Every structure is written in structure tokens, then in C-alpha cells.
Amino acid sequence: MSSESAIKVVVDGSRFGVEGSLKKFKRLCEAAGVLKEYRKRKEFKKPSVRRKEKIEAANKRKAKDKAKAKRNTKI
């Protein structure tokens, strides 16, 4: 057996209904980071590309914060 964590979900249709159980399952997956991990592993990216994307995202955030601060500054 692998050392990876697993989520056990019991669907109780009588208590929450199918829609409620599905919502609960989606919330559990989101909390565990299943989708985030899936998207991360979907394709391999070289470490250099990953670093470059991270730097670009940081620059974009900084520019956005700077523009927001400029809008909120009163003369």
C-alpha cells in the first residue's frame, strides 16, 4: 500500500441527497488539493520554465497592486 493519503467518502443519499453529497465531495477534494495536484502533474514543466512563470506571475501581481494603489491615491 502506498504512503499517499486517501479520502474516503460515503454517499448518504437519504441524508443530503445526491446533489448535496456531490457538493460535499467537491469540497473535500478542494480542501485536500486533489484538483490542484492533478493540474500540476498533468504535464511536465522544466524547473527553469516553472521559475520563469513564477517570476512573471509575481511581476503581474506587483503591477496590479501598483495600479490599484495609484487609483486609490487622492491628490
Domain count for the chain: 2
What digits encode the pLDDT tens for the residues 9-40?
666 667 778 888 888 888 888 888 888 888 88
Q: One-letter amino acid identity for 71?
A: R
d(CA 40, CA 69): 32
**Which residues touch 12 (CB under 8 Å, ≥6 apart)?**
21
Do 48 and 18 sit in the same domain of this protein? no
Do 17 and 32 sit in the same domain of this protein? yes
Do 22 and 54 sit in the same domain of this protein? no
Do 64 and 28 sit in the same domain of this protein? no
- Which residue range forms the structural domain that includes residue 34? 1-43
Q: One-letter amino acid identity for 31?
A: A
Task: Work out the pLDDT band at 56, boundaries 50, 70, 90.
Answer: very high
Whether the pTM exceeds 0.75: the reply is no
Q: What is the model's pLDDT at position 1?
A: 43
Do 51 and 22 sit in the same domain of this protein? no
